Structure 1
Amino acid sequence: MDKSTRKSKKSTSAASDDSKTLPNFANEDISQQVDPATATITVTAVEVTELTQEEQSDRLFLERKVERAFFEAGKALMELRDRKLYRSTHKTFEEYCRVRPWRWRSHRFGHNRRQSYLLMDAAVIFDNLEQKCDRNDHILPTNEWQIRPLSKLDPDIQPEAWEQAVESANGKVPSHRIVKDAVQRIMERTQVPNTYQLGEVCQILAKDNAELRGKGGCWGIVSAVNEFSCTLEMWDGEYTIGLQHLKSFNYLPAEREQMRVICDRISRVYSNSLEETVKNLLQSLGKLNRAYLTALEEKLLTVLESEIRD
C-alpha cells in the first residue's frame, strides 16, 4: 500500500474517532445541566444605610415644604394683593390674576381670580389648623381641595372638623370627601331649627357654592320644609337648598301670594319657550328683590304669555 493511501485511512480514522467523542461531550453537558425548579439563585445583599438624625430632620423639613406649597402660594398672593404689587402692569388684582402667565398653572382650574381667592382662603385655613391642631399628629392638608369644605365653618370650629376627618382617614391626610362629610356632621349638629314656612319667599345666597352656580340672588317659594334645608319652587324647577344658603324676604301674606302668581306665570312661559333672549329676560325676573312687577316688566311678560297662547 502506498503512502497516500495510508494517510487517507489515517485521516478517516481520526474523523471517526472525533465523531465518537463529540456525542459523549454533548451527553456530559446535558447531564450536568441543573433542573430550573431546583436551581439556586445567589442574590447579593445590598446594605440599606439608615438615615442619620440630621438626615431625618432634613427629610421631614423638605416633605413639609412640599406639602405647604399651596399654603405658600396663597400667602404670596395675599401679599401681592395687599401691597398692590401688580399696579405697575395691571389696573386690578383680578386682571393681574387672569393675565399673569403662571408657570404652575393648575390644569384643573386654570389660574384666574377664583382660583387665586381659593388659594388665599386655603392659606388662612391652613394657618388656623397649624396653630390650633395637635402638633404631635403632624397631619396637615397637602392641597387646597382637601380643606375647601372647611370654609363653610367658623375658624374656631375648623380644627375640630379637620381632626375628625383625620380620625376617619385612620390617621392619614383625609380626602376632600372625608373632610366634607365631617363638616356636614358638624353643621347638622350646630344647625339652628328650621323656622321657614310653606309659601315663604326666599333668596338664594350662593356663597361660592359650585352647586348653586348661576342661582345666587334668585328667589323661590318654599314648597317643602326639611330638617336642615328647604325645597324651593322656582321659575325653572324645584331645588333643595341648605338653610345656610337661604334668606327670607319676610313678605306679608298678600305679597307672598302675589309672588306665587308671578312665579307661576314665569314658569309657564319658560317651559314653552326655547329662545335664548326670552330665557334671559325670565332669568332677570327670577332675581327680583321686590314683591311686584314694574309696568314695563308686566307688559313684557303679558306679551310673552300671549305669544305662547297663540
Structure 2
Amino acid sequence: MANENLTTNGSQILPTSERQVRPMTKLEPQEQQKAWLRAVEFAGGKVPTGKIVKDVVQRIMERTQVPNTYQIGEVCQILVKDNPELRGKGGCWGIVSAVNEFSCTLRAWDGEYTVGLQHLKSYNYLPAECQQVREISDRINRVYSSGLEESVQRFLESLGKLNRAYLTALEEKVLSLLESEITHKEAWG
C-alpha cells in the first residue's frame, strides 16, 4: 500500500502532457513548483488538466504584475509571444479603447481585441501622432469592412503593421483610391 501514499502527496504527482507544463514556462523556476502543487490541489489531489494549470499560472502572474499604465487613445504594438489567440496579429498596432486591470481593449485595423499587458508594447507616440494613427485606423477599417478582394485585404493588413504614425505619399494614394472605390460601390450598390 506504499504506492497509495505517493499519489496523495502533490509533489509525487507529475505532469502527463505538454499542455499541463506549457503554461508554467511563463513563470520563474521557483514559482513553477508552487504553481504545479496548487494545480494538483485544485484538481483534488489528481493530475490537473492543462486548463487548471493555466488558470493557476494566470492568477500568479496577475498577483505579480505591475499596474496597468496604458491610457485610452495610446497606440501600442501587439506582441504575440506564446499566445495562440493572437496568431496573425504580431506586429500590428492597436489603439487603446479600454483600460482593464490586466489587459487593454485595442481597436486594430480589422476589429477590436482584448490583449494582456504582457502582449503589448507602447509606441510612446506624441498625442498628435496618436491622433494621426486613429484617423488612419478608421479609414483602413472602413475599407476593410466593405469586403473588397483578398489582395486588397492583404494591403490593408500591411498598413496595420506599420511602425510609424503616417502613410507615405504612395500608401496615401492607394488608400484614397480604395476609399473612392467603396464610396462608388456604395453609391451604385
For the criterion TM > 0.5, the same-fold answer is yes
Q: Are the structure 2 counterparts of residues 136 and 188 from structure 1 closer, same or farther at C-alpha, using a change threshold of 3 Å?
A: closer
Task: Work out whether residues 10 and 40 of structure 2, in 8 Å CA contact, stay in contact via their aligned partners in 1.
Answer: no
Equivalent position SS for 2:11: coil
The residue number in structure 2 matching 1:300 is 174
Q: Which has the larger radius of gyration?
A: 1
Native 8 Å contact 2:10 2:41 kept in 1: no
- Equivalence map 1:235-254=2 (5 Å): 235-254=109-128
Over the aligned positions, Cα root-mean-square deviation in angstroms equals 1.8
Q: Are residues 1:234 and 2:108 paired?
A: yes
1:144 matched to 2:10:
no
Match of 2:98 in 1: 224
- In structure 2, stretches of 5+ residues that fail to align are 185-189
Residue 39 of structure 2 is aligned to residue 165 of structure 1: yes
Q: Distance in 1 between matches of 2:153 and 2:136?
A: 15
The alignment of Structure 1 onto Structure 2 pairs a total of residues equal to: 180
SS at structure 1 position matched to 2:33: helix
Aligned to 2:136: 262
Q: 1:288 aligns with which of 162, 167, 170?
A: 162
Q: Distance in 2 between matches of 1:200 and 1:219?
A: 10
Q: Which ranges in structure 1 are unaligned for 5 or more consecutive residues?
A: 1-49, 61-134
Give the percent of matched residue pairs that are identical in Structure 1 and Structure 2: 72
Rounded Cα–Cα distance in structure 2 between residues aligned with 1:267 and 1:188:
32
* Structure 1 residue aligned with 2:50: 176
1:207 to 59, 78, 81: 81
- Higher RCO (CA-CA < 8 Å; seq separation 6+): 2
Any idea what SS the aligned residue of 1:221 has?
Answer: strand
Mapped to 2, the partners of 1:180 and 1:249 lie a distance apart of: 29
Q: TM-score, normalised by structure 1?
A: 0.56
What does the per-residue CA deviation read over 1:230-282, in whole Å, with 9 as the maximum and x for residues that have no partner?
Answer: 00011111111110100000000110000011000100100113310110000
SS at match of 2:154: helix
Amino acid at match of 1:176: G
The structure that is strand-richer by fraction is 2
- For 1:223 and 1:160, how far apart are their aligned partners in 2? 36
CA drift of 1:142 comes to 1.1
Matched ranges for 1:18-29 at <5 A: none
Q: How does 1:25-44 map to 2 (within 5 A)?
A: none
1:187 matches 2:61: yes
Partner of 1:160: helix, strand, or coil? Answer: helix
Matched, 1:154 2:10: no
Q: Distance in 1 between matches of 2:29 and 2:180?
A: 54
- For residues 61 and 160 of structure 2, what CA distance do their matches in structure 1 show? 29
Change (3 A) 1:184 1:136: closer
Give the deviation of 1:161 after TM superposition: 1.1
Equivalents in 1 of 2:133, 2:38: separation in Å? 44
Three-state SS of the structure 2 residue aligned to 1:156 is: helix
Which letter maps to 1:220?
G
